[in-house]
Amino acid sequence: MLVDTHTHLDFPEYEQDLREVIERAKAEGVEYILVVGTDLPSSKRSLALSQLYQGLFASLGIHPHEASRVSEGDWQELKGLAREPKVVAVGETGLDYHYNYSTKEDQKVLFRRHIELALESNLPLIIHNREATQDCISILREYATSPLKGVFHCFSGTTETVKAVVNLGFYISFAGPVTFPNAHRLRETVKSVPVERLLMETDSPFLAPQPKRGKRNEPSYIKYLVPVLAQLYGLSEEDISRITSLNAFRLLGLGTNHRKGKVAYAIRNSLYLNITNRCSNSCTFCPRESLPYVKGHYLGLEEEPTPQEIMEGLGDVTRYDEVVFCGYGEPTERLEVVKTVARYLRNKGVRRIRLNTNGQGDLINRRSVSEELRGLIDSVCISLNSQNNEGYKVLCSPSHGDRAYQALLSFTQRAREVFPEVTMTVVDIPGVDIEACRQIASNLGVGFRVRRYNDLG
Ligand code: SF4
C-alpha cells in the first residue's frame, strides 16, 4: 500500500480524466490520496472530490501567496468546513518569501490563523516553506508545548532544518525531486530524516519524478520515489511502503493502523521473531510500553505465541539472510521457545540464526544458558548500554538491580566460548561513554557496534 500525502487533484489539469488518474493510482497500490486546498474555492473542490471518491481525503487551507488578498468571509467559511468528516488536515499554509506575492506580515498572520485552526480542530498542518525557514520554525516554536503536529511538504531544506523540524515533532515529506539525477544534496538530506518521520507525496500536477519529469504528475507516479528512498535508507521497497503508510496513518489517519502485534516481521532481507514483550529491563529509550513499532511493524503482543503458532506462521524461512530473535522483550524470558524454534529453523536450513539479548538470560533462568543454545544460535548481539553498573541502572532500570550488569558481562564471557559471533552494542545517547564501552567489548574479546538512538531494526 502507498499513500500520496499531497496532491492538487482539484486543479484544471485533471478535468478531462480524473477518474482514470485515480484508477491508475489504485492499480499501483496508492490506496489513499490527500487533496490539498490552496484557497477557498480549491479547498471546497478538494472536499467535494474527497466526498465523491473512496480513498480521497481533503486538506483545507489558503496558500501564503493569497495572504494579502484573503477576506474575513472566506476565512470564516473555510473554518466552517473543517468539521467535515473527510477533512483530515489544515493547509497548505506556511510562508513563501521567494515570490512574495503577499507581504511577509500578512503571511505570518495567516499562518498563525491556520495553526490556531489546526489546534482547535485537532488536525495536522500541511506546511509550505520556501526561503522562509527561520520564520517558519520560530513561529512553530511558539506552539512547542501544544499538541500541534504536521508535515513540511515537498521538503528541500538542509540537514540543519531537518533537525529543527524533527525536534518540533513534525514529519517531512519528499516529492519527485529526490529522483532527479542531479539532486545529490537533497538525497543526502533525506538520509538525515528519521524514517519514522518520512512521508511521500507527488505534489501532483507538479514535479513529476524521473522518468516522467516534465510531464503532468499524478499519484500513480509515487512508485518512482520508492526505490530511491529504499536505497537511501538501506531498506527494501516493501519496508519503505509499509513505514511511510504507517507514518501517514499516524499523522493524517490515512491508511491502516496495523494494531495486531506481529510475531514474525521482515525488515530488509531478515526475518525477526517477536516472541515476548516481557523484559527484565525497562530502558529509558525503549518504546515497548508507549509506541511498540519497529520500521512500520506493530509489536505489541496481546498474548505470547506458542512455539507451534510461531513455526506455523513463518512461511519459507530459507529466503531470508538470517532469522533473528528480537522483539520488544527479552527472548531468553522464553528460553525453551527460543530453543524449540531455533531447532526448527536449523532443520529447515536457515543460513544464520541470531539472538538479540540484554545478556541477562543466566539471571532470568537461574542457570547458565549459553551451552543450551550451542549449535542453535550462530550470532549473539548483547546490549551493553553503559560503561558501568551505575549508568546501566539509570538507563535500563533492571529488575535484577545490581546483579544485572555483572550478569551480562559474565554471559558475554561465556557466549564468546560458545557462539561463532558475539557483539556488544550501545545506543549513542548522552551519558554513554562510547569509548569506555568499546574497551569493555575489546577486553572481553567480542565485537562492538554503536546503534543510533531511535533507529530500531
Ligand atoms: S532490554 Fe530491550 S526490550 Fe528490554 S526494555 Fe531494554 S530496549 Fe526494551
Which among 267, 254, 258, 245 is positioned nearest to 196, based on CA atoms?
245
Structural domain that includes position 212: 2-252
| Alpha-carbon distance values, 339 to 325, 335, 343, 437 (Å) | 11, 6, 6, 30
358 in contact with ligand 1, CB cutoff 6 A: yes
- Confirm whether 258 is domain-assigned: no
| Domain stop point among 212, 232, 252 | 252
Asked whether residue 194 falls in the same domain as residue 328, the answer is no
Residue 339: inside a domain: yes
Last residue of a domain, one of 252, 280, 315: 252
Same domain, 419 and 315: yes
**Residue 366: which pLDDT band, with cuts at 50, 70 and 90?**
very high
Is residue 457 situated within a structural domain? no
Beta bridge pairs of residue 108: none
> 3-state DSSP call for residue 123?
coil
- Other beta carbons within 10 angstroms of residue 31's beta carbon come to 17
- Euclidean distance between the first and the last CA atom of the chain, given in angstroms as a whole number: 21
Domain for residue 417, yes or no?
yes
Same domain for 137 and 167, yes or no, is yes
C-alpha cell of residue 385 = 548500554
Asked if the structure places residue 349 within a domain, the reply is yes
Ligand 1 centroid to residue 120 C-alpha, Å: 37
Q: Which of 228, 252, 276 is the last residue of a domain?
A: 252
User: Residue 203's domain is classified under what CATH number?
Assistant: 3.20.20.140
pLDDT tens-digit map of 275-331: 999 999 999 989 888 889 999 999 999 999 999 999 999 999 999 999 999 999 999
The CATH number covering residue 382 comes to 3.20.20.70
Is there a single domain that holds both residue 293 and residue 231?
A: no
Q: Is residue 83 part of a domain?
A: yes
Peptide bond into 227 cis (omega under 30): no
The yes-or-no verdict on residue 24 having pLDDT over 80 is yes
Residues 138 and 84 in one domain: yes
Helix (H, G, I), strand (E, B) or coil at 93: strand
- State which ligand 1 atom lies nearest to the alpha carbon of 383: 1
| Structure letter (DSSP) for residue 178 | G
Question: Same domain for 196 and 245?
Answer: yes
% of the chain exceeding 70 in pLDDT? 99
Instruction: Give per-residue pLDDT as tens, 380-414.
Output: 999 999 999 999 999 999 999 999 999 999 999 99
- Cell triple for 299: 509489536
> Which residue's alpha carbon is nearest to atom 6 within ligand 1?
283
Total-model pTM: 0.87
Residues 193 and 287 in one domain: no
Same domain, 23 and 110: yes
**Cα-based distances in Å from 349 to 134, 269, 342, 434:** 56, 16, 11, 37
- Distance from residue 240's CA to the centre of ligand 1 (Å): 25
CB 278 less than 6 A from any atom of ligand 1: no
- Kindly report the length of the chain: 457
Question: In this structure, which amino acid lies at residue 255?
Answer: G
* Same structural domain, 179 and 279: no
Taking residue 240's Cβ as centre, other Cβ atoms within 10 Å add up to 25
